[in-house]
Amino acid sequence: MKIAAYQGPSPEGDLFYAFRKIDETLAQAAKQGAQMVVFPELYLLGYNQMHHHAELAQSVGGDWEMRCATLAQKHKCGLTIGWAERDGGILYNSASTFDANGTKLGRYRKIQLWGSVEPSVFAFGDSYTTFTLNGVKTAILICYDVEFAQHCRALADMAVKRILVPTANPADFSLVCNTLVPARATENNQTIVYANYCGADNGLSFCGQSIIAGPAETILTQATRDAEILLIADLNETDQIEPSQLSTQQADYRKVSP
């Protein structure tokens, strides 16, 4: 399976621009044989557009999700994308995955809201979302979630082999892209697709450096800090890693009492 991560600038509240970019990117990805594209966190409207999210957040099954499903079906390429979800009077920082037929495979609500601004707008998610993608058990996490070894380990214990991560990682946190994401992938024998913004949004700058990392210290592809780019990786490479090279931490772990 070929999978892609889109790194690009924020739509900065321009929904027309966002859907045009999704349309163009899915077309480009499909042409290169990719079967899934992961977009950044809260891509519909842009991450640092909290006033827009509070005003325009949509319900599950609303126009945004339907348009995403239609575009996935149009290009025969799956899509994972972040958006603001409204459930009654409660808002969530969510992401949805659609397969190449436009079928929604799952919707996830961010568990680890970051900083002080996110919790002031969104409620905390409280559960994982898993599904089968091309025969492989897959999950969604969002940005800060993947920095917690406990979440990736919990998903590994659920036999999840691939994690799709829309993110909005700021300029001062390159450590996440370059160290934590590869570490999570290596220690849990997972492939992590981490799609970040580049540039700035409403005064917040991003570090770019989106990455697709696999087990056994495998960095399949990574972006630079500033480039708008579509990263594509063939996950058959991670499926064929020699078992003796994979981490044995899960099997070797010894729990001791405090």
DSSP letter assigned to residue 128 = -
46 contacts 11 by C-beta, under 8 angstroms: yes
- The amino acid occupying position 105 is L
Q: Which residues contact 60 (CB under 8 A, 6 or more apart)?
A: 85, 87, 107
Cα 185 to Cα 5, 34, 162, 206, 208: the distances in Å are 16, 21, 9, 22, 19
Among the listed residues 41, 85, 118, 147, the single catalytic one is 41
- Helix (H) or strand (E) holding 97, with range, is strand 90-98
- Give yes or no: 143 in active site: yes
Q: Which of 68, 143, 152, 207 is catalytic?
A: 143
93 with 57: CB under 8 angstroms? no
110 is catalytic: yes
CA 214 – CA 181 distance, rounded (Å): 9
Task: From the candidates 68, 85, 104, 110, give the one annotated as an active-site residue.
Answer: 110
Round to whole Å and give the CA distance between 185 and 197.
21
Q: Does the active-site annotation cover 217?
A: no
The two tokens of residue 229 are 């780019």
Using CB atoms within 10 Å of the CB of residue 3, give its burial: 0 to 12 exposed, 13 to 18 middle, 19+ buried. Answer: buried
Q: Amino acid identity of 246?
A: L
DSSP label of 182: H
Would you tell me the crossing angle of helices 15-31 and 63-75 to the nearest 10 degrees?
A: 20
Query: Which amino acid would we find at residue 149?
Result: A
Residues acting as catalytic residues: 41, 110, 143
